[in-house]
Amino acid sequence: MKRTRSLLPFLLPGLLLYAVLFVYPSLTGLYYSLTDWDGISPSNRFVGLEQYGKLMDHIVFRKSLGNNLKFMLAVVLLQSSVSLVLALQLWRKSRFHTALRSLYFVPTILSSVAVGFIWTFLYDPTLGLLNTSLERGGLSGWTQNWLGNPKLALYSLAFVQAWAHIGQMVILFVAGLQSIPSELLEAARMDGGSRRQVFFRITWPLLAPAATIVVAYTTIQSFKAFDLIFTMTSGGPNYSTEILSTFIYSTAFTNYSFGLASAASVLFLVLIAAITFIQFRLLRADRITY
């Protein structure tokens, strides 16, 4: 007890910062979700759960929720699988593999706005490098209006989101692979295990904690891809790339309905927490030890 009391003064600055920057804004947002505040008026009216009922009937909200789930699924599958494949090729400790890992990590240090501007130019239907390369390669039939086609725009953005963060996930997978005792892998190979058997029976089970972190982090990133989507499409065309974060922004700062935006933010938080919890339970990282 005395030791705990002596440590308390060292914890207070961090607890105070956490309370001011996270707890207070969260509680304030929860309160405003129960009001009809427009973000400007000095007063507001308490309406209870009315804003949540409006969200359930809001067509754009339902569309943004569906888009967000599709975007998340596409990013998680693409980013996790590609980063795992790359990590399996680059996990060895050598200068060459270290240099390649650093090269793949470069897009991660770029801001999402910069990445958005770069890929907006690459996706340009007339001058963009992607369509130009397809035409020069004799594949002019594959050229598309990548950001203007409502059926393709969301998945085009998902590819950019995955491209920008694959290097980061490679580092996490490499750290997990390097922590696996090499004696286990050598023993399995000496016993006649094929590469497939060694991977699925030894490597993957021991890599599950790292995979859990990658999937959870990728999920959160996909829900927070506001700056990338806002830079490239602003939610268009015809709301085909509208996700929850862009919906919250437009509701609050364009339509000045902060009460409705706060309710969407609360549901946003609950959705991320629920999906992350389910992922942890499915991957069962807490039951796996090295």
pLDDT of residue 4: 66
Instruction: For residue range 205-251, list pLDDT tens digits in order.
Output: 888 889 989 998 999 889 989 999 999 999 999 999 999 999 999 99
281, two tokens: 């339970």
How far lies 151's CA from each of 77, 222, 240, 259, in Å?
19, 19, 8, 32
Counting the structural domains of the chain, the total is: 1
Phi-psi region of 206 (alpha: psi -120 to 50; beta: other; left: phi over 0): alpha
Domain membership flag for residue 104: yes
In a domain, 47, yes or no: no
Residue 188 inside a domain? The answer is yes
Residues 6+ apart with CB under 8 A from 132: none
Tell me if 5 is assigned to some domain. Answer: no
Could you tell me if 105 and 170 are in contact, meaning their C-beta atoms sit under 8 angstroms apart?
Answer: yes
- CATH number of the domain to which 133 belongs: 1.10.3720.10
Would you state the pLDDT for residue 250? 94
Task: For residues 229 and 64, give the distance between their C-alpha atoms in angstroms, rounded to a whole number.
Answer: 12
**92 is a domain residue:** yes
The rounded mean pLDDT for the chain is 89
Radius of gyration of the chain (CA): 23
For residue 280, how far is the Cα from the chain centroid?
16
If pLDDT is split at 50, 70 and 90, which confidence band does 8 have? confident
For 139-165, what is the mean pLDDT?
A: 94
What average pLDDT score do residues 148-167 get? 95
The set of residues, in sequence order, having a beta carbon less than 8 Å from that of 48 and lying 6+ positions away, is 34
The model's pLDDT over 118-142, given as tens digits with 9 standing for 90+, comes to: 999 999 999 999 999 999 999 988 9
The whole-number pLDDT of residue 288 equals 46
pTM of the model: 0.88
Calpha distance 23→29 (Å, rounded): 10
Kindly state whether residue 42 falls inside one of the protein's structural domains: no
* 6: in domain: no
**By residue range, what is the domain housing residue 119?**
52-287
Q: Is residue 185 part of a domain?
A: yes
